[in-house]
Amino acid sequence: MKTTIETKTYSNFINNEWKESASGKVITSINPANKEAVGYVQNSTEEELNQAVEAAHNAKKAWRKLGQAARGQLLFQTANLLEARLDEIAESMTMEMGKTLPEAKGETARGIAILRYYAGEGMRKEGDVIPSTDKDALMFTKRAPLGVVGVITPWNFPVAIPIWKIAPALVYGNTVVFKPASEAAVTAAKVVECFAEAGFPEGVLNFVTGSGSVIGQGLIDHPKLNAITFTGSESVGQSVAKAAAARGIKFQLEMGGKNPVIVAKNANLDQAVEAVISGGFRSSGQKCTASSRVIVESEVYNEFKQKLIEASEKITVGNGLEKGIWMGPCASESQFNTFNKYIEIGKNEGARLVHGGEVLTGGEYDNGFFVKPAIFEEVTPDMTIAQEEIFGPVIALIRAVDLEEAIDLANNTKYGLSASIFTSDISSILEFIDEIEAGLVRINAESAGVELQAPFGGMKASSTGSREQGEAAKEFYTAIKTVFIKGS
C-alpha cells in the first residue's frame, strides 16, 4: 500500500528551536512490514542533552508562575492540533512499529482525550483547607511542581504513553525533557510538533533523540533533573531506580507484566475467548498489559482450548495499513528474534505448541517481521514462558483444579500489573478482587487496557512509585506544601 507520509529527517526540539545534532549522525526508523525507511531522527550527543536540560531549568520559574489555568489552555490547543493530524500520525505509527491502522487511530484519539483531560486539570483545585486547632489561623495545602522532569518512553505506545506523562507534568507546572525510544521516534517527533505549534514558552518542552546509553543515562544522571518518569523493561527500570535513588530525586517506573487471565468453569467461554485473543494478540502481544498466561479450570479446559484455537485460526496477519488485517508484524527485528527465541524455549522445556508459532514467509511476508500468533499448552508454572515477559503474541495455557489453585497460579510470578477473570459467580469475583496481586483488576474483560481517568500501575516488579493517569498523576508530578497563616 502506498502512503502519503513523507520520509524525512526530524531534528531535536530545544528551547523552542528545531536543531540537528552536532554529531552529524542520524538513526533510521525502519518499517517492520517491509524494512523500508520511515524517517530519520538525530543521534544526539551529551551536549544536546545538556542544552535541553539547561533550557528546561531556565524556563521552570516563569512556567510555574504562568498559572495552572493558562497552562491548561495550551494543552487544549495541543489537543486540537493533534486532532487535525490524527490520520497522518496514526499512519506514521503503523509504518514505524507495525500496529494496525485502526489501533493506531484509536491510540492517537486516546492521546487527544488525555490532553483534554489534563487541560481540564488547569481549572481544578490544587489543595485543601484543613481545620487548625488555632481558631484564629488558616491552614491549607497547595501543590508545588517538582521542576525539570525527564520523560523516557517505549516504542509500543508512541503517542499515548508520552502524552500521559508529558501532559500532567506540564499542567502541574513542571518543565520537560522528553527522550522517546528510537524505534518510534518519528511518531514521537510528530506529536512534539503539535506541542511546538501550540505556543508553549521557550524551554518548557524539549525533545532529544539518541541512544539510551548517552541520552537516556545522561538524562537520569543530570544534576539539574528533579524527577524521572520511565516506562520500559524491568532491567533498565532497575538501573533508573538506582541512579535516581542515589541522587535523591523522585522517580516513577512502569515496567513489565506477565498478566494472567483466569477462565472459571462457569464463565461465558465465547466472551472469554474473544477477550483472550484481543488481549494476547492485538498489537502483536506487544503491550505491558497483554494477556500472557491463561489459567483455565479443568472442567472447561478442553472446550475453551478448542474455541481459542478456532478463533486464532481466523486471525489475518499482514501490513497494518491494509484493510482487514487483524495483526501486524513484530515491531522490529529484535522483537521478531525474541518471539522466535521463546518459541524454541517453550518447545525445549516440554510445552506443547498447539497453534501457530511459525515465521510467515512468501509474498508480502518475505520483507517483514511477520509471525503467526502462538498458543502453548501443558505449560507448568516454573517454565520460562510462564515466568518471563515475552512481549510478543504468545499465550501459555495452564490447567487449574479450582479457583483457589487458579489464583495461586496467577500470583506465581514476580510481576503484578494486570489480571482478569471470567466468571458468572459473584463470590468468585469478590475472592479474585481480594486475592489477586495486581494493580489492574479486570472482571469479564481482557487484561489489556485501562481508562485514561483511572490510575494505571502495578504491584511487585511491575511498577515503582505513584500511579500514572487520572488524578493519581498529581501525586508524582507535585509536592505538597502545608501552609499555616495567622494574623500578626
Cα separation, 379 vs 383, whole angstroms: 7
> Concatenated DSSP letters for 190-222?
HHHHHHHHHTPPTTSEEE----IIIIIHHHHH-
Cα separation, 88 vs 187, whole angstroms: 10
Task: Answer whether 261's CB lies under 8 Å from 297's CB.
Answer: no
Grouping H, G, I as helix, E, B as strand and the rest as coil, residue 291 is strand
Task: Answer whether 360's CB lies under 8 Å from 284's CB.
Answer: no
Quick one: cell of 22?
552536532
Task: Answer whether 118's CB lies under 8 Å from 153's CB.
Answer: no
CA separation (Å) from 31 to 85, 319, 330?
Answer: 20, 10, 10
Q: Compute how many other C-beta atoms are within 10 angstroms of the C-beta atom of residue 342.
A: 22
CA 278 to chain centre: 17
Residues 6+ apart with CB under 8 A from 434: none
47 is annotated as an active-site residue: no
Quick one: cell of 426?
459473584
Quick one: cell of 241?
531506580
Beta bridge partners of 206: 177
Grouping H, G, I as helix, E, B as strand and the rest as coil, residue 281 is helix
Beta bridge partners of 418: 440
Instruction: Find the catalytic residue in 193, 254, 377, 468.
Output: 254
φ, ψ dihedrals at 11, nearest 5°: -95, 170
Grouping H, G, I as helix, E, B as strand and the rest as coil, residue 97 is helix
| Residue reference for cell 492517537 | 108
Quick one: cell of 429?
469475583
Task: Answer whether 330's CB lies under 8 Å from 385's CB.
Answer: no
Dihedral of the alpha carbons of 242, 244, 250, 253, in degrees to the nearest 10: -50
Cα separation, 106 vs 113, whole angstroms: 11
Spatial CA neighbour of 458 closest among 389, 361, 355, 375: 389
Quick one: cell of 292?
500472557
> Concatenated DSSP letters for 344-394?
HHHHHTT-EEEE--PBP-SGGGGGS--B--EEEES--TTSHHHHS---SSE
Q: Would you please indicate which residues are annotated as catalytic (active-site) residues?
A: 254
